[in-house]
Amino acid sequence: MDLQATIELIEKPLGIMTLLEEECIMPKATDMTYRDKLFGQHLGKSPSIGKVKKQTKFEAHFEIYHYAGTVGYNVVDWLVKNKDPLNNSLVQLFKNATNTVFKGVWENYVGADDEPKGKVENGTKKFEKKKHSIRDENFDLKKSIFEKKFDS
């Protein structure tokens, strides 16, 4: 079986992976809008993808036809998994570290599940929520190590 059509469906521009990346940066994107874009781009145009013909034990949203046969895929949580958020337990471990440099880097990190800290001004609660990316945390860590190294 020639797998070129399936490989292109997955890897080429506007394929499964690039459409997923695109949806991850769209603010109102959902798993179902991803599925709809996938169908709009490939349904009827690629022989390797199709709508689910027969539901099995789990709910599939689309099927890919390749050497393993027909395989159904469920797109629930694909966007969340692709964004690769930090594990909150891990962040809490970092915030409570005994190493002062490590602890200092993570002390201001606010994750998606953290409650914003509020100040009361004129009877209204103002919220401050500062988000850091892993890149910001990495930069802060390098900066802290560099400063400690040359302060001694």
If you ran DSSP here, which 8-state letter would residue 108 be given? T
Residue 150 pLDDT more than 70? no
Q: What six digits make up the tokens of 144?
A: 């802290």
Residue 17 pLDDT more than 80? yes
Q: How confident is the model at residue 151 (pLDDT cuts 50, 70, 90)?
A: low
pLDDT tens digits along 40-78: 999 888 888 989 888 777 888 999 888 878 888 998 988
Domain at 4-82: CATH code: 1.20.58.530
Q: Given this model, what pLDDT does residue 39 score?
A: 92
Q: How confident is the model at residue 152 (pLDDT cuts 50, 70, 90)?
A: low
| Cβ atoms of residues 30 and 79 within 8 Å | yes
Of the two residues 110 and 15, the one the predictor is more confident about is: 15
Of the two residues 85 and 72, the one the predictor is more confident about is: 72
| 101 Cβ neighbours under 8 A, 6+ residues apart | 141, 144, 145, 148
Q: How confident is the model at residue 128 (pLDDT cuts 50, 70, 90)?
A: very low
Q: Domain ranges in the chain?
A: 4-82, 85-151
What number is the average pLDDT over the span 103-124?
Answer: 64
Strand partners, 63: 50, 72
Residue 145 pLDDT more than 50? yes
Stretch (H or E) spanning 34? helix 31-42
Q: Given this model, what pLDDT does residue 107 score?
A: 81
77 vs 13, 35, 73, CA distance in Å? 22, 12, 12
Of the two residues 120 and 88, the one the predictor is more confident about is: 88
DSSP notation for 64-107: EEETTEEEEE--TTHHHHHH-PPPHHHHHHHHT-SSHHHHHHHT
